[in-house]
A = this chain, B = another copy of it.
Amino acid sequence: MPPTPEIAELKNQFSEYLRRKKYRNTQERSNVLDRIAEIDDHFSADELYLYMNGQGDKVSRATIYSTLDLLTQCNILTKHRFQGESAHFELATRMPHHDHLICTECGRIVEFREEAIDGIRDQVAKGLGFRPLSHSLQIHAVCHDPTTCEHNTSD
């Protein structure tokens, strides 16, 4: 994977957002975004906390949560909330947007990409007078094939 050439752009976008909202451009906020750019995956607040403090960055959980919140608000991060799990984040630019199908019997999660959804999202948002940013779709379903679904014991 490329060493994220867009990191500079993301940092601009973030600074710009902070300025616009009259929030301060602190070292901690900058560091958090830097470290996130190094992670090529979903992550939780606590995972980021442990990662940063393992790298020598000293950041508190309070700051992590607060900064993740800002980054989500300005659409640099996307926030996912699966089932009962803690919130997970990823760079909005990280990969083509994907959605999730969850088996209600065994909890298995399958990622998929379906471009048609983007069109519907944009059309719906505009129709309601909004500017679309992103979406999060979860499909709930059960396996057809009992052998691939660990909990399909009955039937």
**B-contacting residues of A (Cβ < 8 Å)?**
20-21, 72-73, 75, 81, 101, 103-105, 110, 112, 114, 116-117, 120-121, 124-125, 128-145, 148, 154
Contact = CB atoms under 8 A, between A and B. Distances in A.
A137 B137 contact: yes
A114 B125 contact: no
B137 A142 contact: no
Copies in the assembly, this chain:
2
Contacts of A120: 114, 116-117, 120
Nearest to A132: B141
Given A20-B154, A21-B154, A75-B104, A130 B141 contact: yes
5 contacts: A120-B120, A121-B139, A130-B144, A131-B141, A131-B142
Given A116-B120, A120-B120, A139 B132 contact: yes
